[in-house]
Amino acid sequence: MAGRRITLASRNDFAEWRGVARSLLAEGVRPEDLSWTGPDDTEDLFGAPAEAPLPSRADRPVGRVPQKFIGLAEAAICHVDPERFALLYRLLWRLQKDASLLSILSDPDVQKLERRASAVRRDSHKMTAFVRFREIVSAEGERFAAWFEPDHFILERTAPFFVRRFSGMVWAIVTPYASAFWDRQDLIFGPGGNKADVPSEDAMEDAWRTYFASIFNPARLKVSMMKSEMPVKYWRNLPEAELIAPLIRGAREAESAMIEKASSQPPSRHLRHRAREDALVSEAAPADMLSLADARAAASGCTRCPLYEHATQTVFGEGPEGADIMFVGEQPGDQEDLEGRPFVGPAGQVFDAALAEARIDRARVYVTNAVKHFKFEPRGKRRLHKRPDGGEIAACRFWLGLERAFVRPRMIVALGATAAHSLLGRAVTIGSVRGVAQPLEDGTLLFVTVHPSYILRIRDRDAAIAERARFVAELTEAGRIATTLGIGHERAERHA
């Protein structure tokens, strides 16, 4: 039986645990001589008496651990497992003798740490996807509240996401164990509450249910995949949940009705625009262009605008045919022009890191550019990026249109103004369309954000950090919308 019992004041405060653990480590206290409890743990009547918290050594490092341990521990301490504190201290103790311990994936303690950290991160991701704010009528102005039932103690870890995403709102998130309150300046945590503390619905939910029903496509329904991305346990807190069961039941009839229904005639201006597009297609598309691979091969010899004369090669898009999400950038950069692949240079590194934080797997999405050749001006031995003009964007819309036709994405994320121009057919400012999903003519959802190269150009470090956080939040929001619509941006494959 453990000789000393340490009781922590918080369920998930990594700084508190680390300060106590450093003190214990400095004293040479072995893991087997300790028992740990948190504020929710039942007292052991036959165990050692609880000790007052040890003097914190948070400012005085003791021992050495790899940086990976810190990240895993910060997540794992939010797990509901009552043994999490003991597990972390046991690993801390063992790491002093074997710094490579975390690389031994067969070790039982390492496996437990990885599983608990993964479960917490997954729960946090689900919270960002399924929290629904409801308006509270107040004499002080607009107030919003949401109820969420997490599997783990993740509110403190996840609340900063909502601060970034809804910084202009006054809101509260209530969970069974704690609550968070944001007043546009400070984020405050308090005790937990009940579902009854939050309004059951507000006026906006009728509009959301109407939209959800209108964009439901029975031909694309995959019930098992939808449930894996939007588990049934969350349905009772989603305003659209009451529609899911009847929509599923009526999917077969609705699909048949869609097939039988004749298409409506578009306005004349759309017909004129389509005629111009068809003229471009018939001018350059080989008769045997039947797949994305055919389009890529044809694009390698593109001469539709003068950019091909100086670029090294055409940089076509890459990703699975049938990907649910397509990312469209501006044009290839210097490194992309040399390698023949999109987003492999400095902006691509920012893009890849942001995708990873947003939990979007690049291997499962399609990535391309609005313009397929590198436009630049020579400056000594360097080639400096030069923004494509409207004519060059229009010329390359043919290739982007083929990519859309063969990939058939359900959501397109435009990275920057050039991509938005190409997809909307008109010049727009990012500020006017950023962060809002809007349907294109074919029903595909378009979500506009900045190009990752914009973040690289910000000289002020704090501003760059803030803008990068916003970029990640917007990618996460795009993924959340995709998940809500049953798209599933983490799917391994897509069935026809």
**DSSP letter string, 292-309:** HHHHHHHHTT--SSGGGG
pLDDT at 160 over 90: yes
Query: CA-based angle 283:289:291, to the nearest 5?
Result: 140
* Beta-carbon-side half-sphere exposure of residue 79 (alpha carbons within 13 Å): 25
Average pLDDT over residues 207-212: 51
Residue 414 CA to residue 421 CA, distance in Å, equals: 9
Q: Dump pLDDT digits (tens) for 431-482.
A: 889 988 888 888 889 999 999 999 999 999 989 999 999 999 999 988 888 7
Going from N- to C-terminal start, the domains of the chain cover 4-125, 131-197, 204-260, 268-484
pLDDT score at 187: 94
Contact of 102 with 66, CB cutoff 8 Å? yes
pLDDT score at 286: 54
Q: Confidence band (pLDDT; 50, 70, 90) for 146?
A: confident
Ramachandran category for residue 29: left, alpha or beta (phi over 0 → left; psi -120 to 50 → alpha): beta
Contact of 57 with 44, CB cutoff 8 Å? no
pLDDT score at 488: 39
pLDDT at 174 over 60: yes
Q: Dump pLDDT digits (tens) for 371-390.
A: 999 999 998 888 999 999 99
Residue range 268-484 forms a domain whose CATH class is alpha beta
Rg (CA), the chain: 27
Which are the contacts of 106, defined by CB distance < 8 A and separation ≥ 6?
none
Contact of 395 with 303, CB cutoff 8 Å? no
Structure tokens given for 449? 């954000």
pLDDT score at 230: 60
Residue 281 CA to residue 298 CA, distance in Å, equals: 12
Contact of 116 with 123, CB cutoff 8 Å? no
Q: Dump pLDDT digits (tens) for 332-358.
A: 999 999 999 999 999 999 999 999 999
